[in-house]
Every structure is written in C-alpha cells, then in structure tokens.
Amino acid sequence: MNKKMMTMMVALATASLAYAAEAPVTDAMLAGAAGNTHEVLSFGMGSEGQRFSPLTQINTKTVAKLVPAWSMSFGGEKQRGQESQPLIHNGKMFITASYSRIYAVDLKTGTKLWKYEHRLPEGIMPCCDVVNRGAALYGNLVIFGTLDAQLVALDQNTGEVVWKEKVGDYAAGYSMTAAPLIAKGLLLTGVSGGEFGIVGRVDARDPMTGQLVWSRPTVEGHMGTRYDKDGKASDNGISGTVNKTWPGELWKTGGASTWMGGTYDASTGLAYFGTGNPAPWNSHLRPGDNLFSSSTVAIDVSTGTIKWAYQNTPNDAWDFDGANEFVTFDMDGKRYGGKADRNGFFYVIDAKSGKLHNAFPFVRKITWASGIDLKTGRPNFIAANRPGDPTKGADNTKGSTVFSAPAFLGAKNQMPMAYNPGTKLFYVPANEWGMDIWNEPISYKKGGAYLGAGFTIRPIFDDYIGALRAIDPKTGKIVWEVKNNAPLWGGVMSTAGGLVFYGTPEGYLKALDAKSGKELWKFQTGSGVVAPPVTWQDGDTQYVAVVSGWGGAVPLWGGEVAKKINLLEQGGSVWVFKLTK
C-alpha cells in the first residue's frame, strides 16, 4: 500500500469515528432519512412515511435464515399495548413503551443504557390504551409525548431531561400517543382526546428548547397563533369561518384530534395531519360538514396556515377518524399522497393542491356510502345507514340502531401501511368488521366521555378479520391479500429485498414476498405484535427489529371480536433479527 492511500484510509477512519462520537441529528440528515440505510432517524422511516428500505441483504432468497440477534424486555408490572417504532442512531436504539416510558439500548448487544419512566398523574384519560408510538430525534435530543399531554426531551447519551412542556390539560381529556414529526427544523405534534371533546391542533416548536413557534387548531372557528422569540403570542388567522360548518357553540368542543401525528414532504413544504372524529359522535347534534374533522389537513410548515384540507367523512356519524397517515409517493411524474382511511376507502390525492385523484374501497363491506364522487370529492351517503336521531325515537332517549361497516375501529386504524417504489404497491393492514351503533342524547362535560352513542363490534366473516392487502394506487385493485384470524393492529415495512414485514396479534413477525404475498418466514415473539418493524445495516449486517406486546384499542372495545383474541397474552419487549451464517 502506498503512503498516499494509507493517509487517505486513516482520514476516512477518523471521519467515521468522529461521526459516530458526536452525531447530532441535523435537518440535512432528517431530509435524507428515507434513503439512510444505516440509521432509522424518524417515525415512518423518513418523514414521508413510506416505510421502505433500499436494503437487500435480507431478501426473498435469504429471509428463511433470519434468526434473533437479541431481545430486551421493557420490564415492569404494567405491560399493555406496545405500538412503538424503534429509532436507530449513533449506535443506539431508542424505544418508547406503554405508560410513557422510553429506553436507550446498545445496538450491538441489546444492553440497556438508560431508561426514563414518566411520572403519570391519577386521572389521565387515554381512550384506547396506554400506548406510545415512538419518538423523534433532533440535535442531541430524543423527544416524545406522554399520556398526560406533555412533551419530554432527553439527552440521547445520558437520558437526562433537557426540557419538558405541557401541551394540554389531561383533566380535560388531552393526551399524546403519536411520535413527533420534525420538518424544516420544527417539532410538529398533535393531540389525542377526540372522545372527550378536546380541540384538535398542530403545534410547531423549536425542538432544542420546546418553545412554541405556531399553533394551528383543526376545528373550524378557532384562532391560530404565532409566537415571537420571546414567546409573545399574536393572531395567526382563524381556521376557516366561525359557524360555517358547525351549529351554535359545538365547535368549541369539536374534537378533530390530530392523534396520529403527521407526515412531511419536502417537495411540497407541507405537513399532512389526519384529524379524528367530530365530537360528539351523535351527528344529529351538529348538522353541517364539521370541518376540519375526519380530514387530511395540509399545513404550510413555514407559516402554520392550512394550505388545503380534504374531508374524508363530512358530518361523520361512525367515529371514522381521518387520522390515518398520508403517505406521499410518485406516480406518473406527479407527487400524490395515499391514505387508507378508517371509513373503508383508499384515497389518492394531489399532494400539492389537495385535489382528489382517485378513491376506492379497500375492504369488502362498506355500508355508510356507496362510493366517493370523484368530481365533487364527496361521499355518496346511504342515508338509511346513518344511526337514527334520538329526538325522533319513541321516548327521546335512543335513536334507531343500524348495522355499520366498517366498525368504528376502522378498515384501518393506527397501524401504518408501507409503500414500495419498486413494486409501486401500498401494503395495507386492513380489518373487516362491523358494528351495531345507535345515538343517544349527550351534552359536554369537562373530562367526561362525549359520545352520545352506543355500539357493539361484530366480525363480518367467520374465518378472518385482518387482511394484509397489496393495493395498486393506480388501478385501485387489490393485487393480493393474506388473511388473519385476529384483527391486524401492527404496522408494515417493505424492502428492496422484495419483502413485506408485518406483525400479528397472534405474536408473529412475518415476511412475505412483496410481489405475490407468499409467506417466506415467521417468528413467534411471545406476545402480540401491534407495532411497525424497522430495518437498518450496521457494518456488513442488515438487521430487522420489532416491538412485541399485545394491547391497544381492540382488547378494550372487544365486543364479539373478543372471542377471537382471548388467548393472546400481554408483553413488552423488542426483538432484533439478522441472518444466520
């Protein structure tokens, strides 16, 4: 080896060491997160949320040799649902867990480096289990939201709390379960609590200090706010027009919670947040479209204004939260967003303008609408299948009961889908179920459930509820499907190795052929998987990780579905896999 080459190699080695030792997460790193194969820097494996990895070492031919590398238990007596996506950075894995916990783990050995257990007050009100879906990385910080509606930023190396901010009043039903999103150097977060009449919004903060930059409510009629460097608030324009789509005072407790967080596309400069149901569930109390509930809201990150909004379910009567992720992708030379909505339709929307391009069912049974009118963008409602008005019932206490499909737990819920730019398919964890639903009178009371509805969830088919479906966004066709006995509740990941990974409540992490859906590998993790997998490469080895721990909304709201899931056990651990030699 000549001297020049030697010098170059030493310089290279030094550069990579320096990178590993400091490695603050920068805007440039986050902008390139989707293509970064040696780290997982954000929820969604890139802010666009495609959950696609270009890695190919684990592929259709080698995946049969995938074996555990290590596993780590979250410990503790309290377990419940583990819906968290791990982040990988600087030799560490960062994982959130139930009850607002977060861990840093040595990536090579699985050794716990530090943990933080947030002190939760009595009286928190998470609607749908004590879950957390993940954290965000920025600078030297790892940041996550808690069940008492706080944001906590910790030092990645020590686990020490650097800043903490209250986001909402937990006694009024506010909580946080989604992973924060970083876009254009801002920390963007939503809020949970649509079942308690909170007011949904998106906040932007300085990720290093927690200081607010702007706040954008997602219920029409509320005022947006901007904050200067000293924290002084000023008017940032109203969201929509007061009383245009909401009668009387109802907009003041209108729901539309942004509980799933959002995605961001650098090519449009827009952050896309889904919004939950309008409150209360009883739609007869709030005639009108009730903007911006059950919608995708596209927010200009620079200004905090709503650039466009598309409402999936106007005047929602079924708890069809439009909270699902809006995943941007290229099709025919244009940038679109795909969204598998809780209401049973898959939407393809122009990511820049918000114009509806296509909408088609991705489940077999939909009772509330016969289709989506592509000209007007509005659903063709089937009026007879809306739960009846209680004031028109026999004794003014209960409206007529209807059978509705999907059930309120949705054709798809919190489990994120994946998009593979190679196969050009979306991989959607769907569920086929329905519900008997009826309306009752209700009035708002702080901290009380604000539904005005009762329900019983029922399976539709004998042999399955869940179905992982490969969906062609161009044709609206289901290319293949793999049925699952229990409802699917974990997320999906696809890779350039021709694979689709997803977990099942029965405890398996599975790998399928992305083209055919053929099952190529599975592993029993010991508890139900309700979280999305990730992959990265360390040195010359590709790894796959997933969190295991059964829970979430399904066991809480079981109805007749509970019969399918009564043998599933709780847990709390992370599993890491690699190929055996």
Q: Which is nearer to Ca ion, 48 or 316 (CB)?
A: 316
404 binds Ca ion (CB under 5 A): no
For Ca ion, the closer CB: 414 or 504 = 414
User: If binding is defined by CB under 5 A, does position 194 make contact with Ca ion?
Assistant: yes
Other C-beta atoms within 10 Å of 57: how many? 17
Name which of 175 and 277 has its Cβ closer to Ca ion: 277
Nearer CB in complex with Ca ion: 145/197: 197
Check if the beta carbon of residue 210 is closer than 8 Å to that of residue 153. Answer: yes
- Give least dist CB 320 to Ca ion, A: 8
Check residue 324 for interaction with Ca ion (CB under 5 A). Answer: no
- Show the site string, 282-321: x = touches Ca ion by CB under 5 A, - = not: -------------------------------------x-x
**From 50, 239, 277, 282, residue interacting with Ca ion (rule: CB under 5 A):** 277
**Exposed e or buried b per residue across 530-550, where buried means at least 16 C-beta atoms within 10 angstroms of its C-beta:** bbbbbbbbeeeebbbbbbbbb
Per-residue DSSP letters for 465-484?
SEEEEEE-TTT--EEEEEEE
Handedness of CA 146, 148, 153, 158 (dihedral sign): negative
3-state secondary structure of 196: helix
Size of the site for Ca ion (CB under 5 A): 5
Residue among 194 and 261 whose Cβ is closer to Ca ion: 194
Residue type, 40: V
Residue nearest to Ca ion (CB): 277
CB of 260 to Ca ion, least distance (A): 11
Cis peptide bond upstream of 441, omega within 30:
no
How far apart CA 120 and CA 177 sit, in angstroms, is 13
Task: Yes or no: say if 337 and 330 are a contact pair by the CB < 8 Å rule.
Answer: no
Token couple for 184:
């254009």
Joined tokens for residue 361? 């069912």
Is there a contact between 547 and 531 (Cβ–Cβ < 8 Å)?
A: yes
* Minimum CB–partner distance for residue 270 and Ca ion (Å): 24
Q: How far is CA 264 from CA 31, 43, 245, 252, 337, in A?
A: 10, 11, 27, 28, 11
Q: What element of type H or E holds 7?
A: helix 3-21
Residue whose CB is less far from Ca ion, 277 or 495:
277
Smallest distance, Ca ion to C-beta of residue 195, A: 6
Quick note: the x/- pattern for Ca ion over 139-178, rule CB under 5 A, is ----------------------------------------
Name the minimum Å distance from CB 342 to Ca ion.
9
Catalytic residue from among 129, 203, 319, 321? 319
Closest C-alpha among 398, 377, 381 to residue 389: 398
Extract the tokens encoding 85: 């996506």
Q: What one-character DSSP code corresponds to residue 19?
A: H
Residue 456 beta carbon to Ca ion: minimum distance, rounded to whole angstroms? 17
Active site residue 319: yes
* 468, amino acid identity: L
**Residue with the two structure tokens 């010359």:** 540
Smallest distance, Ca ion to C-beta of residue 315, A: 15
Q: Tokens for 73?
A: 């238990």
- CB under 8 Å to 193, separation ≥6 — which residues? 125, 127, 149, 168, 172, 173, 174, 175, 255, 257, 259
Closest distance of CB 73 from Ca ion, Å = 32
Distance in Å, CB of 277 to Ca ion, minimum: 4
Judged by beta carbon, residue 322 or residue 528, the one nearer Ca ion is 322
276 or 354, CB closer to Ca ion? 276
The region of 180-188, 190-198, 383-391, 409-417 touching Ca ion under the rule CB under 5 A is: 190-198
* Burial environment of residue 266 by CB neighbours within 10 A (0 to 12, 13 to 18, 19 or more): middle
Of the listed pieces 18-26, 269-277, 385-393, 519-527, which binds Ca ion according to CB under 5 A? 269-277
Alpha-carbon distance 532 to 565, whole Å?
A: 20
Is residue 524 a contact partner of residue 568, using CB atoms and an 8 Å limit?
Answer: no
- Note whether 447 and 125 are within 8 A (CB): yes
Q: Which amino acid is residue 125, in one-letter code? A: M
Nearer to Ca ion, 127 or 359 (CB): 127
The binding site for Ca ion (CB under 5 A) comprises 194, 276-277, 319, 321
Active site residue ranges: 319
